[in-house]
Amino acid sequence: MANSTLEPAKTAEPRATKPSLAKALQSIFSKSEEPNESKAIAKRRRFVMAAVLGTLSVNLLMFLRFFFPRALYEPKTKFKIGYPSDFGFGVDTKFQNQHRIWVVRNTEGIFVIIAICTHLGCTPDWKPSENKFKCPCHGSGYDPEGINFEGPAPRPMDRAHVELDPEGQIVVDVSHAYSWPKGERSQFGDDGAILHV
């Protein structure tokens, strides 16, 4: 006999579908790319930050530079060379390299010759054996007091201002020179051109 009660129709159970290969690959790659991408972003950020900081630092340095003027440190023009008793008769060359001067003592006193040839500005050499200064550039010659007597030099070499400080040391000032231009009065006897010691 046929069963008159109708059994409820079985609903079809959803078939478990296998994940497609494409989806699987996508999930693998999307997971592995994430950290790489964030690393790249962090790297870019660091690069931009470094560039910004570098630019700011350069600008800051340029700004600060305005407060420090470009100073040109030149040799001192006024300096002490010792006591008169330190200098014997004749030409003393010990300050030639440091200050470009010679200290000379003669029968009248002590004076300082500025070691610059009056032709074109070379530094003459002191030749003790010849008792003269000789310029290596064009051959001008000067006697032990710096008076020209040969070559193209037009006049004697200049002398620097000299004075004694309160302790009795000789102070030389090469920014204050005494000269003897050709055909004009000599300044070599002026106050400050020689120390009568």
In the complex, which residues of this chain contact ligand FES (CB under 6 A)?
A: 117, 119-122, 135, 137-140, 151-153
Which is nearer to ligand FES, 140 or 161 (by Cβ)? Answer: 140
Give the integer Cα–Cα distance in Å for 63 and 43.
30
Which is nearer to ligand FES, 139 or 168 (by Cβ)? Answer: 139
- CB 71 to ligand FES: min, Å: 31
Tokens of 20: 């497609």
Which is nearer to ligand FES, 14 or 121 (by Cβ)? Answer: 121
Whether residue 188 contacts residue 178, with contact meaning beta carbons closer than 8 Å, is answered with yes
Which is nearer to ligand FES, 81 or 117 (by Cβ)? Answer: 117
Sequence letter at residue 179: S
Which is nearer to ligand FES, 121 or 166 (by Cβ)? Answer: 121
Cα distances (angstroms) measured from residue 45 to each of 36, 38, 55: 14, 10, 15
- CB 91 to ligand FES: min, Å: 18
- CB 125 to ligand FES: min, Å: 11
- CB 96 to ligand FES: min, Å: 15
Q: Pick left, alpha or beta for residue 68 (phi over 0 → left; psi -120 to 50 → alpha; otherwise beta).
A: beta
- CB 114 to ligand FES: min, Å: 13
Side by side, which strands form the sheet with 170-178? Answer: 78-82, 170-178, 159-164, 110-114, 101-105, 90-92
